[in-house]
Structure 1
Amino acid sequence: MPLPKTGRILREKLQRGETVFGTFLQHTTTPSIVEFLPENALDFVIVTCEHNALDLAEFLPMRYALAARGIACLARTHSREPDDVSKVCDSFDGVVVPYVEEPDHARRLAAAALFRPLKGAALEQVLRDNQWPSPKTREYIENDRCANTVFIPMIESLRGIENLAAICGIPGVHAIFVGPNDLTTTMGIPNEYDHPDLIAQLQKIIDISNRSHVAAGCWFGKRDQAERTMRQGARFVVYSNDGSLLKDAMENSFGHLRRI
């Protein structure tokens, strides 16, 4: 039995204006853990090797186990190079690209995700003139080869916010995801996630994205911060990560038991 097209399902939810919920997987590579995920908790996960010694290939068993549960598995790239984006999209349901700032760079990243396998002069014709090799090629890429692919640039700098309207206008941008550590660092308020200036910038990001009918959201590890951003209008909700969720659950459970 073929697996559900979980990337396409996630895209459709976003296009309908739904709020979607996910978390980071930074440590979990054993697919049997998926059996213990509660029903209807997650629409997607983002696997990442940013803060560990793993490689994205080690998460591939998780991708297939998650698909069997109808959960999309996106991957955060190591780099901001189009070739890396294409490689990730050939194996996962979609890609999350860090530190996107310039519209032209964003267009090429989106093309690497959503126009593959076009390259070289053929890709340049599509980007410049919307001229495809043939209607069959366009049909194959848009409705077959890349129809299950989700493309999400990360906004992690003030320059990215300045260019956000243009980035949101690029065909194929399915959501905007804010990395708060990098963003607050560039703002001069590193890791001050309750700072009014960050809250104001997040509102600006959400409002600009909404005008282009693009979902936006920010990672947070505290539930009240995630809730606050949802009240601001965030629809792409990324909460905590596998290690922190396990830590919090054990602290709550065993902390309670030890107080009895």
Structure 2
Amino acid sequence: MNKFKEKIQNGEAVLGTFIELNNPAIGQIAGMAGYDFVILDGEHGEIAVEDAADLARAAALAGTAAIFRVNANDTTLIGKVLDCGADGVEIPEIGSAAEAQKAINGAKFTPEGERGCNRFVQAGEYGRMTSDQFFGESNAKTIVVLQVEGQDGVNNLPEILKVKGTDVVFIGPYDLSASLGVPGQTEHPKVLEQIDKILAMGKEQGVAIGLYVDSIESAIAWKKRGVQYLALQTDTVSLYQHFKANTDKFHAE
């Protein structure tokens, strides 16, 4: 089992960021800076499935986990990015227990799922790993993050959390606020109360809860409330904000 997954299972909080730009160096730099994981954004970013192998290699060089966010709950696609060496997969648009199970089926080998078998890929060290090593260890090592979105997903959370094989349920705070009648008010007492309930449900089922956050202050605040998987901004936003702060300060003098 990898160290990142051990941290999750031990109840520790981990910090990561979304990678939108298709450059292996960015994930490597994030790892060198101390991020626990990077989310290679194949849903909204400039990253194609074919790029997964090089980006996963770069993250591994820096000792950070590479989670690939696919653009659909497609079992073949999920298996493909894991074959390319991603440590885990993040699947969007999960709205029911059935959709959650479909995602697990794509990420896990039998008997836990239906992932296609091929050890002659980066994940299997191109055949250096034996069948017993690769197929025997992959299920335990693979990280599965289910991105629960929309009101159906929020309403069906108790059932989704019970799906075996789920490591993290990633909640969209804006979807959650909308489902509670306070759209966009992610710090509203109703939202905070609901997340506390979700955290309790996750703890009961042994599933970590994740959130996207806009600032490190927000990440720390949610960490203190018990959120474990914290995705802070994106590479593009972080780069822009750093550049903008420098230019603003320069031109103000």
For normalisation by structure 1, the TM-score amounts to 0.78
8 Å Cα contact 1:8-1:150 kept in structure 2:
no
| Number of aligned residue pairs | 236
8 Å Cα contact 1:101-1:163 kept in structure 2:
yes
What is the CA distance between 1:45 and its match in structure 2?
0.6
Choose the corresponding residue for 1:251, options 232, 244, 250: 244
Which stretches in structure 1 are left out of the alignment for 5+ residues? 1-6, 121-136
What is the CA distance between 1:26 and its match in structure 2?
0.8
What is the CA distance between 1:237 and its match in structure 2?
0.9
**Paired AA for residue 18 in structure 1:** E
Q: What is the match of residue 120 of structure 2?
A: none
State the Cα deviation string for residues 108-134 of structure 1 (Å, max 9, x = none): 3112212269649xxxxxxxxxxxxxx
What is the CA distance between 1:53 and its match in structure 2?
4.9
Counterpart CA distance in 2 for 1:157 and 1:37 is 30
* Counterparts of residues 147-166 of structure 1 (less than 5 Å): 147-166=140-159
State the Cα deviation string for residues 123-174 of structure 1 (Å, max 9, x = none): xxxxxxxxxxxxxx9x667633434311110122333233323322322211
8 Å Cα contact 2:147-2:169 kept in structure 1:
yes
Which stretches in structure 2 are left out of the alignment for 5+ residues? 116-130
Choose the corresponding residue for 2:166, options 170, 173, 178: 173
**Matched residue of 1:80: which SS?**
coil
Counterpart CA distance in 1 for 2:227 and 2:104 is 22
Choose the corresponding residue for 1:57, options 50, 61, 65: 50
Alignment RMSD (CA, Å): 2.8
Choose the corresponding residue for 1:109, options 103, 109, 112: 103
What is the CA distance between 1:40 and its match in structure 2?
5.6
Counterpart CA distance in 2 for 1:33 and 1:9 is 21
Counterpart CA distance in 1 for 2:136 and 2:98 is 24
What is the CA distance between 1:101 and its match in structure 2?
2.1
- Answer yes or no: is 1:24 the counterpart of 2:12: no
- Answer yes or no: is 1:94 the counterpart of 2:78: no
Counterpart CA distance in 2 for 1:201 and 1:142 is 39
* Counterparts of residues 68-217 of structure 1 (less than 5 Å): 68-91=61-84, 92-115=86-109, 119=114, 143-217=136-210
Counterpart CA distance in 2 for 1:231 and 1:119 is 37
- Answer yes or no: is 1:232 the counterpart of 2:208: no
**Paired AA for residue 253 in structure 1:** N
What is the CA distance between 1:224 and its match in structure 2?
3.4
**Paired AA for residue 44 in structure 2:** H
Percent identical residues: 25
Counterpart CA distance in 1 for 2:250 and 2:110 is 54
Counterpart CA distance in 1 for 2:135 and 2:157 is 24
Counterpart CA distance in 2 for 1:35 and 1:79 is 26
What is the CA distance between 1:103 and its match in structure 2?
1.5
**Paired AA for residue 178 in structure 1:** I
State the Cα deviation string for residues 173-222 of structure 1 (Å, max 9, x = none): 11111123444455554433333333233222222112222211210223
Counterpart CA distance in 1 for 2:198 and 2:204 is 10
**Paired AA for residue 249 in structure 1:** H
Range 201-210 or range 67-76, more displaced: 201-210
Counterpart CA distance in 2 for 1:39 and 1:145 is 26
- Answer yes or no: is 1:242 the counterpart of 2:235: yes
Q: What is the match of residue 133 of structure 1?
A: none
CA gap of 1:220–1:119, structure 2 versus 1, over 3 A, is: closer
What is the CA distance between 1:63 and its match in structure 2?
1.2
**Paired AA for residue 14 in structure 2:** V
